[in-house]
């Protein structure tokens, strides 16, 4: 049965490859995957970082709240299996009565926010922001038991050090494109810009009200009779940090984003801990956490379920540490896509440890476009449990959103990639291991150690795939893989050529 199916797929793939230009074997498998996946549902990570730069806003002025409400002790909540986060500041006096009279807490209700889920509280938030931002360790508080609605806002710094935006209630944007103010950006909702040492936390919820955005007829297969109508199809990223440093984001529940849930661009020093991110499996482009041009990042102890990448790492990222994250349903943890439009992309020193990936379209993925430059190096995936995942381990240097990507000779160089203790089950619709490296720029120094993947149901797919991939297996891989080549490729990649 499996053999017959294999032959059928091979036949279909062969037929398909005739109406396309590339007949490189690396692309064979690519087409096979492409045929079955849904390319249009992928993340548009290609947008230029400056194209939608926030412009500075003019916050309305307001006066500080006088009698700020007490902090209530946080309720016990089941959280994902804990690893020790490095530097989450803990509160030594959670019930300290001095806090309730602290004049550094700026409760939005004292600035006129109604919080009934209907009134527009934007002006109150801007006023509270301005007041809190101006004092040392200022806290802007959206208290619990309220639901605040605000429109797209850029919260700009610099603020005094120790600034905290604490949401214990619910904070949400207008519901859907029809109620989105015409003058507001459709690219983003909450934007934090030019901040240093800011904390965004609380026990509350950021509710994205994404449903009507996902159903726009320009979204994949949401048009009449399952078609996809032409765009533009901009939908706002829910939370965006731009050009900021030393950020902490923790405790919050972030849901139903119209597009990416959280996006960091041009940041340095980001600590994410104990977040819950959730959107339905079929919500388009709802990446959980996306980072690009961002360095020194820790993502810990978080649950992410959504309709696109769980965590996506774009160009210009280095020193990213991910631990204790559960992804699923999702499209897995992804490095890329990199090198679009012949661009240079440099990604280095990324570690992912003690993670669970379940019910996902991909597991651990590195994807690059043909024609790019730069490198992906020093990537380590360790102790990852897979549950019913398609493409558990995949390097794809033929990433392409349309069907007509031409052969190109340059590519983002992929090297020093370590997979250790990757165990669990895969969805047999795709081979669990897939290395499709560039014809001209081989992937090198891939290490597999204790990789054991079994079919979730059905027969073992004994078809791991490698094209131009070099590396070693420290232990016997399951399913067995014979295609990884020993040693070094003949054509050596000059590091100067890649310029990272």
Ligand X SMILES: *[C@@H]1O[C@H](CO)[C@@H](O)[C@H](O)[C@H]1NC(C)=O
Could you give the residue numbers annotated as active site? 331
Dihedral angle computed from the Cα positions of residues 280, 282, 283 and 289, in that order, rounded to the nearest 10 degrees: 70
Closest CA to 444 of 475, 421, 477, 466: 466
Decide whether 228 or 445 has the Cβ nearer to ligand X.
Answer: 445
**Contact residues: ligand X, CB under 6 A:** 21-24, 74-75, 77, 79, 89, 91, 164, 166, 199, 201-203, 224-225, 251, 274, 319-321, 349, 406-407, 416, 418, 439, 445, 447
Decide whether 343 or 380 has the Cβ nearer to ligand X.
Answer: 380
Strand 465-467, strand 433-436: pairing: parallel
Decide whether 285 or 410 has the Cβ nearer to ligand X.
Answer: 410
Identify the burial level of 165 via C-beta atoms within 10 angstroms of its C-beta, where 0-12 means exposed, 13-18 middle and 19 or more buried: buried
Decide whether 236 or 315 has the Cβ nearer to ligand X.
Answer: 315
Decide whether 202 or 371 has the Cβ nearer to ligand X.
Answer: 202
Name the token pair of 427.
């969805």
Decide whether 48 or 225 has the Cβ nearer to ligand X.
Answer: 225
Name the token pair of 404.
């007509």
Q: Note the Cα 200 to chain centre separation in Å.
A: 18
Judged by phi (left if over 0) then psi (alpha if -120 to 50, else beta), residue 495 lies in alpha
Name the token pair of 313.
């790492």
Closest CA to 374 of 418, 340, 408: 340
Decide whether 15 or 183 has the Cβ nearer to ligand X.
Answer: 15
To ligand X, the closest distance from the beta carbon of 495 in angstroms equals 11
Task: Give the DSSP per-residue string, 112-164.
Answer: T---EEEEE-HHHHHHHHHHHHTSTT-EEEE-TT-EEE--SEEEE----TTEE
Rounded to an integer, what distance in angstroms lies between the CA atom of residue 355 and that of residue 74? Answer: 26
How many DSSP H helices and E strands does the chain contain? 5, 32
To ligand X, the closest distance from the beta carbon of 247 in angstroms equals 11
Q: Which long-range contacts (CB under 8 A, 24 or more apart) does 20-28 make?
A: 20/403, 20/404, 21/404, 21/406, 21/407, 22/398, 22/407, 24/407, 24/439, 24/467, 25/467, 26/397, 26/398, 26/436, 26/437, 26/438, 26/439, 26/467, 26/468, 27/398, 27/436
Decide whether 28 or 125 has the Cβ nearer to ligand X.
Answer: 28
To ligand X, the closest distance from the beta carbon of 252 in angstroms equals 7
To ligand X, the closest distance from the beta carbon of 78 in angstroms equals 9
To ligand X, the closest distance from the beta carbon of 364 in angstroms equals 14
Rounded to an integer, what distance in angstroms lies between the CA atom of residue 388 and that of residue 360? Answer: 7
User: What H or E segment, with its residue span, contains residue 249?
Assistant: strand 245-250
Rounded to an integer, what distance in angstroms lies between the CA atom of residue 380 and that of residue 157? Answer: 35
To ligand X, the closest distance from the beta carbon of 438 in angstroms equals 11
Name the token pair of 159.
């603020």
Q: How does DSSP classify residue 165?
A: E
To ligand X, the closest distance from the beta carbon of 398 in angstroms equals 11
Contact 376, 348 (CB under 8 A): yes
């Amino acid at each position: 049965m499996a053999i017959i199916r294999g032959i059928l797929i091979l036949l279909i793939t062969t037929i398909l490859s005739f109406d396309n230009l590339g007949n490189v074997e690396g692309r064979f498998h690519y087409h096979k995957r492409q045929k079955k996946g849904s390319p249009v549902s992928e993340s548009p990570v290609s947008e230029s970082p400056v194209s939608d730069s926030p412009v500075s806003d003019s916050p309305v002025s307001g006066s500080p709240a006088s009698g700020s409400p007490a902090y209530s002790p946080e309720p016990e909540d089941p959280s994902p299996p804990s690893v020790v986060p490095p530097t989450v500041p803990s509160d030594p006096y959670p019930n300290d009565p001095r806090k309730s009279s602290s004049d550094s807490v700026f409760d939005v209700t004292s600035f006129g926010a109604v919080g009934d889920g209907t009134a527009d509280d934007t002006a109150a938030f801007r006023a509270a922001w301005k007041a809190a931002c101006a004092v040392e360790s200022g806290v802007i508080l959206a208290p619990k038991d309220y639901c605040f609605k605000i429109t797209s806002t850029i919260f700009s710094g610099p603020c005094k050090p120790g600034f905290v935006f604490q949401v214990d209630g619910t904070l949400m944007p207008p519901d859907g494109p029809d109620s989105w103010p015409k003058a507001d950006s459709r690219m983003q909702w909450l934007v934090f810009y030019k901040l240093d040492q800011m904390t965004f936390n609380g026990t509350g919820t950021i509710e994205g009200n994404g449903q009507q955005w996902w159903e726009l007829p320009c979204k994949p297969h949401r048009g009449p009779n399952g078609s996809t109508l032409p765009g533009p199809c901009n939908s706002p990223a829910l939370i965006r940090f731009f050009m900021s440093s030393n950020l902490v984001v923790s405790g919050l529940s972030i849901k139903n984003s119209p597009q990416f849930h959280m996006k960091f661009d041009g940041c340095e020093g980001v600590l994410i801990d104990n977040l819950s991110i959730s959107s339905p499996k079929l919500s388009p482009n709802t990446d959980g956490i996306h980072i690009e041009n961002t360095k020194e990042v820790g993502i810990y102890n978080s649950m992410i379920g959504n309709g696109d990448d769980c965590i996506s790492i774009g160009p210009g990222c280095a020193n990213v540490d991910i631990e204790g994250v559960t992804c699923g349903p999702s499209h897995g943890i992804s490095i890329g896509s990199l090198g679009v439009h012949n661009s240079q992309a440099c990604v280095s020193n990324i570690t992912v440890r003690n993670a669970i990936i379940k019910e996902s379209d991909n597991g651990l993925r590195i994807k690059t476009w043909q024609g790019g430059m730069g490198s992906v190096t020093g990537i380590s995936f360790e102790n990852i449990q897979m549950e019913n995942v398609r493409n558990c381990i995949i390097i794809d240097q033929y990433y392409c959103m349309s069907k007509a990507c031409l052969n190109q000779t340059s590519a983002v160089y992929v090297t020093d990639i370590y997979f250790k203790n990757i165990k669990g089950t895969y969805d047999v619709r795709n081979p669990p291991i897939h290395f499709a490296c560039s014809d001209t720029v081989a992937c090198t120094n891939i290490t597999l150690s204790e990789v054991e993947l079994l079919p979730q149901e059905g027969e073992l797919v004994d078809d791991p795939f490698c094209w131009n991939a070099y590396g070693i297996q420290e232990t016997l891989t399951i399913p067995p893989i014979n295609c990884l080549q020993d040693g070094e490729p003949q054509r050596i990649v000059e590091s100067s050529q890649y310029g990272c």
